[in-house]
Amino acid sequence: MLSHALTIVANELERHLDKIYGLPSVSPQVRLGNIAEGVGNGAANQGAIPRDVLGFSMINIREEKTLKNISNQVRNDATLRVIYRNPPVFLNFHILLVATHTNYTNALLSLSRAIRFFQFSNFFDQDSVAPESMLTNAPDNPLDQLETFKLIFEIYSPTMEEVNHLWGTLGGKQYPFVLYTLRLLEMQFKATQSEAGVITHVYNDTYQKNPGAG
């Protein structure tokens, strides 16, 4: 689901860049990739982010603890049945957006365009994105695809120390980048764990013994 979420956002950014700034010399302009694999167009780096693009790379996952107290049961009043399933996990991600352009000026230009895009449109759901953004490069298995979603992008401003640790951990030289927090991606396996009937009546069978008997 994370793959589909980032693919949808990347497709939306790609559509925006094409529509506003025209067709680029490199297409697509936005790619998903592991920045830790390096940057380059060589065949040896299968997971690397190519040159002259904007690269999305996930670098951290955190649980949204404020939404943990959710009921594990759903009541259907029409069928008078209760479905039991573990509540969904709500996750926040740190997403690194890197400009890998060989020309430094073009890198800053592309990065600024992306920042303005997320300033203008930082909320994504199934009703606000274009239908083709949900279909293009979507995972083949329907279980890996998002049907309903709410994605919120917020810019994250790391300190110089955090930046140093970040790029040191990734093992590569620093490129022009911006860090975002992707909030509230709901993760849940679509399976019912158990099902039971709804309790509709409670009977009291308490009897009082006749004090005069016996």
Q: What is the pLDDT of residues 37-47, one digit of tens each?
A: 888 865 445 66
Instruction: Report whether 74 contacts 91 (CB < 8 A).
Output: no
Q: What is the pLDDT of residues 152-162, one digit of tens each?
A: 999 999 999 99
Residue 179's nearest CA partner among 102, 121, 117, 93 is 93
Contacts made by residues 69-77, CB under 8 angstroms, sequence distance 24+: 75/198, 77/198
What integer best gives the mean pLDDT of the chain? Answer: 82
User: What pLDDT is recorded for position 14?
Assistant: 95
Q: 1: pLDDT confidence band, cut at 50, 70 and 90? A: confident
